[in-house]
Structure 1
């Protein structure tokens, strides 16, 4: 009875300990917070991010609030990144690579913010920024994101480091309500590794204009050389303005080497595009796809079985071919012995 009571007490204590650990983990995840302080030209009804109308030859003032929830002073990195549709079909604000030279207006250059800020323990600080417009009017739409992250000490020896980052979308709408006609183009296709277990045919596409292709419908199918459909795929994506992006079409795990054709249709409202390409999967590529998906190659076993079968059939054929000859030799030998007996008698 004492053992049972002891076990029950330990069980209760374990439950209590687990609850405390969970609460500590949750408080660590909320070590700081970020919110937007919109400008006077903020679109009405939008509060959680920046949505500003283009005002020629004007400098817009805005800000962000960063609250340090920890009991230590903390430094935060601040970056302005172009909004991009990533390979997973999600709008990504964390990519810090430079904008294309083909873009006439770049929010990453028009927006000015401090690169980093240090905030005391338990303090909240307003970080002021500006958005400078050129004198020309603009009829498109630009998208960026303010990316805020904790600055980690280079000398930190922590074995596990979870970095929490905040992204505040930053949208600028042209002072003209018309938008440029959408233009989607295909740059190239290639066979690629999609994940540790999946392969894909990647379409490298480009949204050429400063317009958001929201909820664009993607329909893809791949056929073999006989015209048989081996896979289909459908998706809905938000394609950010003036963005090059990758649309991966997943390949079947057991796809074989050979000639194939792919058809991709993209629809956005009244606009639609269709892309047709032929491609080849080599024996080596098919082998890599199978290995990646975990399919075992048993062709060597089949080859060995065929060789053994051929040898067996060959030996059986020789045996059957020589069998009548052996019978004749036995019969002749018996006949000779019989004749000798007759002569002796």
Structure 2
């Protein structure tokens, strides 16, 4: 394989329906690799007095503009062997599949349109070792810097087991991580929902051709349980060329996601296209339509770079067929001539 595939094995826990399943992670009672899928740690937030929602296991904090605060995460090694952890605090991103995540190396488009958790928070430690069956106290320091805001600022702590990273057959790299969300709010005001469609285009991703469409959650709220349908047409005509649907998608506050619409190994031709999208949320239905043009040069570059496109050997087959037919005719004529001569 030309490209490395990163597999993330994330231990998730229960969380509020208002925040996605990917925003919090914690522990079960399993204690070995086979039972936990490779996860060797349990992360538990010590919920402070200003916890807004007491029914969730991640930090959902009600803060004031002048607040300075320390909160703590207890990280327990649930195995008998030491485990090495790389910790980072990251802003929430919305990935290509409509899932919120906190990976520090996320390749997803994440153009934040608002405040970021990293503006107000920092970790006490970023690299540490936890002995077998012991715990480590990770401190998160918050300083709101007299900043006032409505809605939610969302991010999370990302814990990666660095000593377990190894490559297996096929250049697959196994990365074991645990995530725990941090949500900040200053009031109970519900900000209005507003979704827009951004840039559209086409390009190669991992040597395969995709149409691309950006969607922007413009305000500081989580968009949950949305349905997104995107379709690609020729501008002239109603023939559907490509489509992609995501059910139960989520969008982090004030962020942008890029949806990839696969071309499934089909060759692209130059010309005018239109991308139409419908997003249904619990509050609204949004309709979008944007035109685009693919040039001859761009189509040629995409088709040559797409490893999923099968080589078109039709012309070769036609040439071979004609040559075979000519040879056969020559042989038949030669046989007829020989037979006539033999009769004489």
The verdict on a shared fold, with TM-score over 0.5 as the criterion, is: yes
Matched, 1:135 2:146: yes
What do the CA deviations read for 1:77-102 (whole angstroms, capped 9, x no partner)? 22111110112322121135799897
Displacement of 1:68 in angstroms is 2.1
Q: What is the rounded CA distance, in whole Å, between the counterparts of 1:253 and 1:72 in structure 2? A: 46
Paired residue secondary structure (1:304): helix
Q: 8 Å contact 2:45–2:73 — kept in the other structure?
A: yes
Matched, 1:64 2:69: no
Which of the pair has the greater relative contact order for Cα pairs under 8 Å at 6+ separation?
2
CA RMSD in angstroms, aligned pairs only: 3.7
Q: 8 Å contact 1:56–1:137 — kept in the other structure?
A: yes
Q: 8 Å contact 2:33–2:40 — kept in the other structure?
A: no
Paired residue secondary structure (2:307): helix
The corresponding residue for 1:126 is: 137
Q: How does 1:292-331 map to 2 (within 5 A)?
A: 292-305=307-320, 308=323
What residue ranges of structure 1 are gaps of 5+ in the alignment?
Answer: 1-22, 320-345
Q: 8 Å contact 2:39–2:177 — kept in the other structure?
A: no
Q: How does 1:12-23 map to 2 (within 5 A)?
A: none
- Cα distance change, pair 261–90 in 1 and its aligned pair in 2 (3 A): same
Q: How does 1:75-114 map to 2 (within 5 A)?
A: 75-96=84-105, 105-114=115-124
What TM-score do you get using the length of structure 1 for normalisation? 0.69
Displacement of 1:145 in angstroms is 1.0
What do the CA deviations read for 1:241-282 (whole angstroms, capped 9, x no partner)? 122321111224334414232212333322524131223274
- Cα distance change, pair 184–94 in 1 and its aligned pair in 2 (3 A): same
- Cα distance change, pair 180–135 in 1 and its aligned pair in 2 (3 A): farther
Q: 8 Å contact 1:187–1:206 — kept in the other structure?
A: no
Q: What is the rounded CA distance, in whole Å, between the counterparts of 1:31 and 1:151 in structure 2? A: 11
Paired residue secondary structure (1:297): coil
Q: What is the rounded CA distance, in whole Å, between the counterparts of 1:101 and 1:92 in structure 2? A: 14
Q: 8 Å contact 1:140–1:180 — kept in the other structure?
A: no
Q: 2:222 aligns with which of 198, 212, 230?
A: 212
Matched, 1:51 2:60: yes
The corresponding residue for 1:261 is: 274
The corresponding residue for 2:43 is: 34
Q: What is the rounded CA distance, in whole Å, between the counterparts of 1:256 and 1:27 in structure 2? A: 44
Worse overlay, 99-108 or 160-169: 99-108
Matched, 1:280 2:290: no
Q: What is the rounded CA distance, in whole Å, between the counterparts of 2:74 and 2:40 in structure 1? A: 14
Q: What is the rounded CA distance, in whole Å, between the counterparts of 1:286 and 1:76 in structure 2? A: 41
Please identify which structure carries the higher helix content: 1
- Cα distance change, pair 275–159 in 1 and its aligned pair in 2 (3 A): closer
- What is the aligned residue count? 289
Q: 8 Å contact 2:112–2:256 — kept in the other structure?
A: no
What TM-score do you get using the length of structure 2 for normalisation? 0.70
The corresponding residue for 1:166 is: 178
Q: 8 Å contact 2:195–2:215 — kept in the other structure?
A: no
Q: What is the rounded CA distance, in whole Å, between the counterparts of 2:187 and 2:96 in structure 1? A: 31
Q: What is the rounded CA distance, in whole Å, between the counterparts of 1:159 and 1:102 in structure 2? A: 33
Paired residue secondary structure (1:35): strand
Displacement of 1:64 in angstroms is 0.5
Q: What is the rounded CA distance, in whole Å, between the counterparts of 1:186 and 1:62 in structure 2? A: 37
Q: What is the rounded CA distance, in whole Å, between the counterparts of 2:265 and 2:37 in structure 1? A: 41
